[in-house]
Chain A
Amino acid sequence: MTASGDLACLKTANLSVRLGRALVVDGVTLELRAGELTALIGPNGAGKTTLVRALAGLLRSTGQILLAGKAIGELSARERARQLAYLPQGHVFHWPMSVAAVVALGRHPHADAFSPLTEADRAAVERALAATATDKFADRAVTELSGGERARVALARALAGEAPILLADEPTASLDPRHQLVVMGLLAEAAHRGGAVLAIVHDLTLAARFAGRIIVMERGRVVADGAPRDVLTIKLIAQVFGVEASISDSDVGAIPILRRPL
């Protein structure tokens, strides 16, 4: 695909991030496209979270980040938040607010902070609750929910802003197998509806199964970027993850099977 086109919602060129003295993200050039679920994989400490936080505008970086054709620094925090939703790791809720109230926080970039939600806001919240099947317990306190339910509420909050870009940091971490599939399915749906979705994923099987595209990071650099079948090779898994693997063709794609650490 050519580097141009209206489909590129977010582009970076030579993006680098320093945390203290360490160069954690080192010259990353990539683009996220509408309608595509991209999995960002890589070993611990590869710089995935730092890259995603920089893309979300939460960290100082050098190089270029273009959001809908504009440099991210030229956008106000509110404009940026309307373009891009960020779902951090851990699904944190500090106060026992209701599920509906938490999901409505996703409308923060749209609402005038002191006026009540508009009809459009309410409709977006309803859609996010319905899409994640969290509407059934919308009046419960988030702190009373199970891990899987919390993950869905956190995702609903990120979806409620209806931003064209969604960045999710390990959305399936610490979830049971069923909820891992549910959450990845919801991210794929969000992409299907036209969103550009980037998710950090540690489970290579999930990445291969759901993502249309996989970006591999190692020591701050992007070392592979492409379709799962082309990226997740026995050689790459050995080199990047230090794991001996085999690839099993199945009706859900070419799925890597991890055999032993090298």
Chain B
Amino acid sequence: MSRVALERSTHGLILGLVGLLVVLAFISLTIGPAGLSPLAALTGLIDGDGAAGLIVRSIRLPRTLLALLIGATLGLAGAALQGLLRNPLAEPALFGAPQAASAGAAFVIAFGYAGATSFAVPVAGILGALVSIGGLVMIAGRRASLTVTLLAGLALASFAGAATALILNLAPSPYAALEIAFWLLGSLEDRSNDHVLMALPFFVASWLLLGINVPAFRALTLGEDAAASLGVDIDRTRLMVVVGVALGVGAAVAVAGSIGFIGLMAPHLVRRRVGSDPARVCLPASLLGAVLLIAADIGVRLIPSNPNATAIELKIGVVTALIGVPFFLVMIFAERRALEGASS
């Protein structure tokens, strides 16, 4: 880590990311099968009149808002988990959180306990994520190595995946099962403002729970004992982060399916610019998460898919995994000494 990165102000980066978000959000509002001109899309957004207004306000706007909210939530969740565990390789998807949330959400949908925009879906997703993140933080405990943590995450993710497969098998309607299987791949296609309203309270709660623990993440750079001696309540911090990550990831999965690796990539890229102080990482990581997800969502709409199946877009969860997994492998390569040392 260079000296420059340690001291460089985060203001410029934050402003730059906000600017980028505005531009990307605008682009996101102007593309779609309806073929509106950018000007028509903008006037449609502002006055809401006519077909353009309807398309932009009730089809494109929720999609853009969800990409923004989910990206920001996942970026912050990754940074917070990394702050709690003092490890740059921590990421909700590696801990089985989206997979477990998917299992919870799939369960209530497949068995008809709830419609797709009912609050029961995010609640079930959050419970699933809570089990996996809570289980993982318990296993990681005070001193477990990163290797143990990642292996436990792998086990939890595999188990959640199997549970989801079982639910799909047992689902009363095979058509519903297919729908769920696609939804699980992660997509922002055809989401409505109801989805935004359903997930928003959980996202806000997640941001608050994670945000107020930023000072604790800083103190934790000294280890748990030293942080506790400085007045940080470690148990409370751990609980708040587990619940905060579960709320964010569970609600994200409930509206958009499984989208991974934003929480790994965003904080890592931010650290290269502003250094590793968690106080400097969390907000930019959240903004960059939003940027990454909006960009990916624009990408899936621009990448041409099979013309015989024009209705099917590339799934955004597939895109984030296709980029995120090689990214993760490169990070493992860079961190392999710490991993082999087996104590974090």
Give residues in A with beta carbon < 8 Å to B. 53, 56-58, 76-78, 80-81, 84-88, 90, 92-98, 101-102, 105-106, 108-109, 113-114, 139-141, 143-144, 154, 157, 161
Contacts and interface: CB of A to CB of B under 8 A. Distances in A.
Contact of A143 (B1, B222, B223, B231): B1
Contacts of A96: 1, 6, 275-276
B228 interface: yes
A139 B6 contact: yes
Contacts of B277: 95, 97-98, 101
A89 to B, nearest CB: 9
Contacts of B268: none
Contacts of B225: 53, 56, 58, 86, 88
Contacts of A141: 1, 3, 6, 275
Contact of B275 (A77, A87, A97, A105): A97
B231 A58 contact: no
B232 interface: yes
A141 B5 CA distance: 10
A85 B223 CA distance: 14
Interface string B269-280: 000000111100
Interface residues of B, number: 26
Given A98-B275, A140-B3, A108 B219 contact: yes
A77 B86 contact: no
Given A87-B226, A139-B6, 11 more contacts: A88-B223, A93-B222, A94-B86, A94-B87, A94-B344, A95-B86, A95-B277, A97-B218, A105-B230, A141-B6, A144-B1
B185 interface: no
10 contacts: A53-B225, A56-B225, A57-B229, A97-B275, A97-B277, A98-B6, A101-B277, A105-B230, A139-B3, A141-B1
Contacts of B86: 94-95
A80 B1 contact: no
Contacts of A87: 226
Given A98-B7, A105-B218, A114-B215, A84 B276 contact: no
Top 5 nearest A-B pairs (CB, nearest first) are A86-B229, A94-B86, A113-B215, A81-B231, A95-B276
A56 B229 contact: yes
Interface in B267-306: 275-278
Given A113-B215, A143-B1, A108 B221 contact: no
Contacts of A77: 228, 231-233
A257 B222 CA distance: 36
Interface of B: 1, 3, 6-7, 86-87, 215, 218-223, 225-226, 228-233, 275-278, 344
B220 A94 contact: yes
A86 B219 CA distance: 13
B229 A81 contact: yes
Most chain B CB within a 10 A radius of its CB, from A57, A88, A90, A140: A88
A186 B218 CA distance: 26
A97 B6 contact: yes
For A93, A94, A105, the residue with the greatest tally of chain B CB atoms inside 10 Å of its CB is A94
A143 B5 CA distance: 14
Given A81-B229, A81-B230, A98-B275, A92 B222 contact: yes
Contacts of B220: 94
B276 A108 contact: no
A114 B11 CA distance: 16
A22 B244 CA distance: 37
Contacts of A101: 6, 218, 277
B230 A88 contact: no
A88 B276 contact: no
A148 to B, nearest CB: 18
A26 B221 CA distance: 32
Which of B6, B215, B220, B275 gathers most chain A CB within 10 Å? Answer: B6
Contacts of B344: 94
B221 A97 contact: yes
B68 to A, nearest CB: 24
Nearest to B236: A77
A76 B236 CA distance: 14
Given A113-B215, A139-B6, A94 B229 contact: no
A125 B121 CA distance: 50
Nearest to B86: A94
A158 to B, nearest CB: 8
Nearest to A141: B1
A4 B276 CA distance: 47
Nearest to A108: B230
A84 B229 contact: yes
A58 B229 contact: yes
A81 B229 CA distance: 6
A35 B172 CA distance: 76
A170 B276 CA distance: 28
Contacts of A154: 222
Given A80-B231, A85-B229, A109-B230, A95 B278 contact: yes
A144 B86 CA distance: 17
